[in-house]
Every structure is written in structure tokens, then in C-alpha cells.
Amino acid sequence: MATIKVSPRRLRERMEQLGTIGRDPAGGLTRLPFAPAHVQAVQRSAQMMREAGLDAGVDEFGNLIGQRSGRREAALLAGSHLDTVPQGGIFDGALGVVAAIECAQTLREANRPLQHGLAVMAFADEEGHAFGAGTLSSRALVGEIGRSRLAQLRDETGRSVDDYLRARTHGLPPAKVPAQVGAYVELHIEQGPVLERMGRVVAAVESITGILRTPVVIEGRASHAGTTPMPGRADALVGAAELVLAVRELALAERDRAVGTIGRAHVLPGATNVIPGRVELTVELRSPDAQVLETLRDAVEERSREIADRHHLTVRLGAWDLSPPVPLDPRMRDAVVRAIERCGHPPLTLPSWAGHDAGVMSRYVPAGMIFVVSTGGLSHSPDERTPWEAVETGAQVLLETLLFLDDAPDMSRRLPLAYAAG
């Protein structure tokens, strides 16, 4: 049988169309979940799904689903997410959605029906920036984040996730993810430098890192910056600065087994002539080793207390939000490797140091990932780039993976969907 080929032209056109939605005057894209730009991206992606012969709708957790049935009860799921970080790039997340749609359309145009049903997923909130919980929408889908918490998680405008979900501003019909799932597969840019340094284009992902996040509030005493002597100050920003360095030091001590970041800090009252009385920040820790994450968490808590005592401050750490490290299904990894070889590339597997919806799905159904090269290793940046030839390769590998999975022995499992009864 002749190989079915994706359309590079259509892939690029659709990626560039989505890349105009949410353009930030400061550079890059800003599509925070449920905000107007994100809603527009969901609506445009739904139109693409319909063009590919998929029935498109949005579930009660804000996830866009395009699907068609097959002869088997179980469905193959493919996709990624449409939200971005502030001033992000056009490929992170969106590539996996558009490529999955392209696979659906290519199969339809080639009159090549799958035995399984096919569902293309566009998760609403993967990045975790707006509400402080990474892979929020996929975790809500399977009940890892309960409905009561969706009513409590709020963005900087004060609106909760539940507020946005009830509004349903996208205007699309309701839909549900299939409960019986043969496999979930996600195409994504690497977001790191390894593939480029190796001179490679594509790889199968073998595991996904664990991530721990917590909000931290450090409080001191705001007072006049000119009249308060240095020895008598309780400067919250000094404590925050020491915590930033402590997180870096603790992560470095784990060598190549962990990374630590404080990427958000809000200083109050934020005046040039007032000693900071309060700093709000977020600590993030990552490691593929669950024990390392636990050790780092304990060390950060201990250092926070030491810093607060030394500088006459108070510190409060919120609940730690955990996405545990997960190995991906070896059968899925092997299917991706076979697809890579089928596309004329040498086999390669890599771990992922970024979190992905595939990590959540892998706890319940067979899940796999495909990485394509990131130019300069850059992502979460307006300078994020991936060569269009690599985009085509990734989409073709995704298509070949779906074809392999469609012919593979049954791997189906039931996805524990957290939809409301009725």
C-alpha cells in the first residue's frame, strides 16, 4: 500500500492562521485559557476539524474535541493544547492540535478509514499560568482536580475556572471525550536543545518529568526607604531574593536530576521609596525522579523558614500542586519508533523535562509522544522556532503512528471521565 502523505502546505497555512490569534504587542502570542484570544483559537480550530470531517464540540471542562466513529468501540486520541504562556510561540501546543487535524483530513481524503474511532483533542489549559495549576484541563477531565477546586481557582481578574466554563462563550455544541480509549498520542516541539545538538529532527518520548509548584507569600514591614536604618528593616524582597538563590542552589546540588525556578514575583507596595512589605511568588521544581522532588520540596520549606527567621519575616507556603513523573507506555514508544523509521529517520528516544497532557493521560490509558526539533532549544518565547520541514516530519510520524496503532492488538482501557451525571 502506498504511503499516505500529509499536506505540508495546509499544515503551514493552518499553523500560521492560528499564529495570528493572540498576537501580543510586546511580542509572541498570549492566549490565556478562556480569554477572548483563546476562545477565537478554539473556534478556528473547530472550523478546521469540521473541514477534516470531524464533529466538533467542547466538553464541560473547556476541552475542544473533534471526532468520528469507527468499527471498534475504542477510539484513538491525538492532540495537545491551544493555550500559551504570555508572549509564547506559535508551535507550543498548537502544533499537536493542527497536526492531528491534518492526519484526520489526510485519512479522509485518501479514503482510508480507521478501525478505531478518532478523537482530536485541544485541551483548554495546559500551561498553568492563569490559574496556577499545570495540565489543569486534562486533570479535571479525569477527576484529579475536582469541581470544588475549579470553583476556587481564580485568575488575576478574580474569575474562577468554573465561572468561565459556565459562560461557554465559544458558542460550540457540547461534546464528550470517548470513554473507551485505545491510545493517546501527542506531537510536540521538544522545547529544549537536545535534538538540534544531535543533528536530529524527531524522537519518541520515553518519560515525562514530575512538577511541583507552590505559591509563597513573604511578609515583612513596609516603611520609608530613606528614614528606616538598614539594621532595623524587615525587607520582604531581601527574603525573596535569598529564596530565589536557595532554590537555584538546591536544584544545582541535584546535578542533572532536577531544575528549580521562581518565574513570578509580585512586590508590594511596589514604590521606589518604600521598603517592600510583601512579596508573592511561585516556586516550581522539576525532576523525573519522585524521590528527588520530595527531597527538594522539604528542603525549600526548611530554607524558607530559615530565611524568614533570619530577616524577621513571616513566610507562608501554599499547597504544593503535584504532577508526578511518569514513564510512557513502552508499546506506544515502540509504535512511535517504528513510525519514525517508516518516515526514513533513525530511531531515537528522549525524556521530556516539560509537563504535558500526555503525562496525565498516561496514568489511565496507553499514551505516547513525538518530539520534533526546537531551533536553538527555545520555547515559551517569541523566538520559538521549528523548521517547517520538521513540522511536516512530525505530522507524518503522527499519521504513521496512528496507522500502526489502528492495526495493533487491542490495548484499550476505560478513561475515568469526570463528567456530570446525566
Please spell the DSSP secondary structure of 79-127, one letter per residue: EEE----TTB-SSTTHHHHHHHHHHHHHHHHTT---SSEEEEEEES--S
Residue 139 lies in a domain: yes
Rounded mean pLDDT of the chain? 96
21 and 95 assigned to the same domain: yes
135 and 268 assigned to the same domain: no
Cell of 351: 525524556
The mean pLDDT value for 24-43 works out to: 97
Residue 419 lies in a domain: no
Annotated binding-site residue? 102: no
313 and 256 assigned to the same domain: yes
The mean pLDDT value for 116-130 works out to: 97
Domain of residue 272 covers 210-323
Please spell the DSSP secondary structure of 373-415, one letter per residue: --GGG--SSTT----HHHHHHHHHHHHHHHHHHHHSPP--EE-
51 and 178 assigned to the same domain: yes
Task: Evaluate whether 55 touches 176 at the Cβ level (below 8 Å).
Answer: no
Domain count, the chain: 2
279 and 218 assigned to the same domain: yes
Annotated binding-site residue? 331: no
24 and 136 assigned to the same domain: yes
- This prediction has a pTM of 0.86
- Which CATH number does the domain housing residue 265 bear? 3.30.70.360
Residue 1 lies in a domain: no
pLDDT band at 422 (very low <50, low <70, confident <90, very high): low
Annotated binding-site residue? 345: no
Annotated binding-site residue? 286: yes
13 and 62 assigned to the same domain: yes
pLDDT at residue 1 in the model: 44
Residue 369 lies in a domain: yes
User: Of 289, 323, 357, which one is at a domain's C-terminal end?
Assistant: 323
Q: What is the pLDDT of residues 69-105, one digit of tens each?
A: 999 999 999 999 999 999 999 999 999 999 999 999 9
89 and 152 assigned to the same domain: yes
Annotated binding-site residue? 273: yes
pLDDT band at 421 (very low <50, low <70, confident <90, very high): confident
290 and 242 assigned to the same domain: yes
Q: What is the pLDDT of residues 242-257, one digit of tens each?
A: 999 999 999 999 998 9
Annotated binding-site residue? 81: yes
